[in-house]
A and B are shown apart, each in its own frame.
Chain A
Amino acid sequence: AQKITQTQPGMFVQEKEAVTLDCTYDTSDPSYGLFWYKQPSSGEMIFLIYQGSYDQQNATEGRYSLNFQKARKSANLVISASQLGDSAMYFCAMREFNTGGFKTIFGAGTRLFVKA
């Protein structure tokens, strides 16, 4: 069974608007971390944001925020005030700390297109 599901293969957003990239996950480990990475056309993977399963508040990093809904097992990435440079592939990922060691599991990604 897939552990990380990203149901949006592609998304369009108008510049300066906010966009939500969906991510759901599946785990029985009570201790886990959720990550989002960005992959621009240059190819490198850039770590954006982290949310721990025991964190009470949603993580925020600048224009990125993670909408963590634990009961629903979702960890959506919200990008506010989209910029043209946000056009990239975005990957949701999870690490299971009790059972998964340092292994990180990735979703299939969502390609975001920001329109001028």
Chain B
Amino acid sequence: EAGVTQFPSHSVIEKGQTVTLRCDPISGHDNLYWYRRVMGKEIKFLLHFVKESKQDESGMPNNRFLAERTGGTYSTLKVQPAELEDSGVYFCASSQGRLANYGYTFGSGTRLTVV
């Protein structure tokens, strides 16, 4: 089974530009999550999709971040306009069902550097 795929693996953009990160979850996984790790700090929750619906977006830092999951398959996270503090590693994860002990399956992350 293919894992969670994230694209691109690295992105370097200038402040003020726009970047779109993509996540392809494991096929059949209804739950899709975005997390972010700023260098050296804890991994922080951004939002959670159940199929195409945003279940919880309490972690989105501000309105420069827009996440979508059209059709309930892959998801995109757009940052527009990017700021220096947006630099970090953005992880996507997916899980199936509502069983409590399901760990997430994570992608390898997108390392975003804003210069």
> Which residues in A have some Cβ–Cβ distance to B below 8 Å?
2, 4, 33, 35, 37, 42-48, 50, 52, 91, 93, 95, 97, 101-109
Chain B residues with CB under 8 A of A37 = 103-104, 106
Q: Quick check: B108 and A44 within 8 Å, CB to CB?
A: yes
> Which residues in B have some Cβ–Cβ distance to A below 8 Å?
3, 9, 31, 33, 35, 40-45, 48, 55-56, 58-59, 89, 91, 93, 95, 100-101, 103-109
The smallest beta-carbon distance between B8 and chain A, in angstroms, is 13
Chain A residues with CB under 8 A of B100 = 33, 52, 95, 97
Q: Nearest 7 CB-CB pairs, A to B? A: A47-B103, A45-B106, A106-B43, A43-B108, A50-B101, A44-B108, A108-B42
The smallest beta-carbon distance between B96 and chain A, in angstroms, is 12
Main secondary structure of the interface of A (DSSP, over half): strand
Distance A91 CA – B42 CA, assembled complex (angstroms): 9
Chain A residues with CB under 8 A of B91 = 45
